[in-house]
A = this chain, B = another copy of it.
Amino acid sequence: MLYSQDTSRCIHPDGLSESAIAAEKARTTEAISGIRTDLADGALPALAIATDNGDLPALKEIADRYREKFTDIVVFGTGGSSLGGKCLHALAMSKGPSLHFIDNVDPASFAKLFARLPYATTGLIVISKSGGTAETLAQLNVFLQWFQNHLSAKDIAERITAIVEPGASALRQIAEAGNFTMLDHDPGIGGRYSVFSLVGALPALIAGLDVPTLRDGAAATLHHTIEMELESHPAEGAALVTAAASQIGSAINVLMLYSDQLFWFGHWYRQLWAESVGKDGHGTTPVPFMGTVDQHSQMQLYLDGPRDKLFTMVMRDCIGTGDTIDAAANGGIDLGPLEGRTLGDLLDASQRGTADALAMAGHPVRLLKIDEVNEATLGALMMHFMLETIITAHLMGVDPFDQPAVERGKVQARQYLREMAD
């Protein structure tokens, strides 16, 4: 396995009992069996895509062209159309074009963007599953106006790729009218589950990442879950979060991350969890936590505030990595326990110290451990959380794939836009 899971710090006399977790775990069999059947029936393309790289050669061709021709690439999309790509892109250490993920319609940000982007060497990827997302259509429209001030229709067409599901939609019509490259978004893959599909893979390939290894990491977790059933990490995780929510009233899921490269992973998880389990009055609230800065920002509340949180920490083995602290550089001033230690040692001590302080104060802390942050481990973790989310939704009795309430704010917003036009 590419990661391990330790839930032992969640179990103690005032907290969760082993039997409560075991009872929930016994209920996961049905969900896993459903996942197995759906996979066999081709009804879970979001997960199955991790085991099939047939789409990659065509994507690679586009990515190579983008890497060669452009210094800057703007990705328009919002929610599930941007968070997965952003999360993968954060892994990139190699040089390549700058990727800008724009998920808002703030006029100030657009003014900044137009002021600094070189139109001749800027490429665009525009993603809307439905092809009708208002923010994305508005973004594309003002960007097209900017392009049209500088470039011919042919030059513009070479700079744009649209990702949209088949069938009539505004984005598809616009892409056809403009001769943009068009890629089909699989209608069976919802936004928050789309990271392994072209929605995440195209930006990742442009960023120079190894997408087959990412998918292999995900596939390993998927196989482990299907084959191990009750003994799988996602089943155990789902049992834990469900038991914590119902037995000890954990209303908040804190995801503690100690690698800067996982910053957007926290936000990707936040959507996955919130939209999947947050319905019919159910669902805990996901909160990303970035160590070490949030140690100096949130720990007071977490240690000493209400006992309404379940903590999941993604720990990485970083002992001995990074630069070594050396008193000589300080003009000989000794830094006590820091002396001779590396940055990685300090990071390791910080994450362990935090986990232990929380557990000693009686808060439930789960540890997920990886050796390093790379495509394989990120793929494994992403698949872990997708499966844990689906299984948890099953335990809570809600549909992990719909989001019926989201439309309400949009209906209201459209009404206000219409009134402005009057």
A416-B348 in contact (CB<8A): yes
| A109 touching B421 in the complex, CB below 8 Å, given contacts A141-B329, A338-B134, A405-B304 | no
Tell me, yes or no, whether A408 is within 8 Å of chain B by CB. Answer: yes
User: Least Cβ distance of A405 to chain B in Å?
Assistant: 4
A404 sits at the interface (CB 8 A): yes
Q: A79-B297, A293-B82 in contact; A333/B174 too (CB < 8 A)?
A: yes
- Least distance between A127 CB and chain B CB atoms (Å): 12
**A60-98 contact mask (Cβ, 8 Å, vs B): 1 or 0:** 000000000000000000111111000000000100000
Q: How large is the interface on A (under 10, 10 to 19, 20 to 34, 35 or more residues)?
A: 35 or more
Which of B103, B108, B325, B418 is close to A141, meaning CB atoms less than 8 Å apart?
B325
A303 interface residue per 8 A CB criterion: yes
**A335 and B420 form a contact (CB under 8 A):** no
The one of B106, B290, B299 that contacts A104, using a Cβ cutoff of 8 Å: B290
Contacts of A142 in B (CB 8 A): 322-325, 329, 343
Complex CA gap A284/B340 in Å reads: 40
Are the C-beta atoms of A304 and B404 separated by less than 8 Å? Answer: yes
- Give the most central of A174, A330, A409: most B CB within 10 Å: A409
A331 touches which one: B82, B178, B291, B296 (CB < 8 A)?
Answer: B178
Distance between A84 CB and nearest chain B CB, rounded to angstroms: 11
A137 to chain B: which residues have CB within 8 Å? 325, 335, 338
> Are A353 and B416 interface neighbours, CB within 8 A?
yes
When distances are taken between beta carbons in the complex, the residues of chain B under 8 Å from A192 are: 297
Q: Closest chain B residue to A306 by CB distance? A: B281
Binds B, one of A8-16, A226-234, A267-275, A376-384: A267-275
Give A contacts to B, CB under 8 Å. 78-83, 93, 103-112, 133-135, 137-138, 140-142, 144-145, 148, 170, 173-174, 177-178, 191-192, 251-252, 258-261, 267, 270-271, 274-275, 277-285, 287, 290-293, 295-309, 318-319, 321-326, 329-333, 335-350, 352-354, 356-358, 360-361, 373, 403-406, 408-418, 420-421
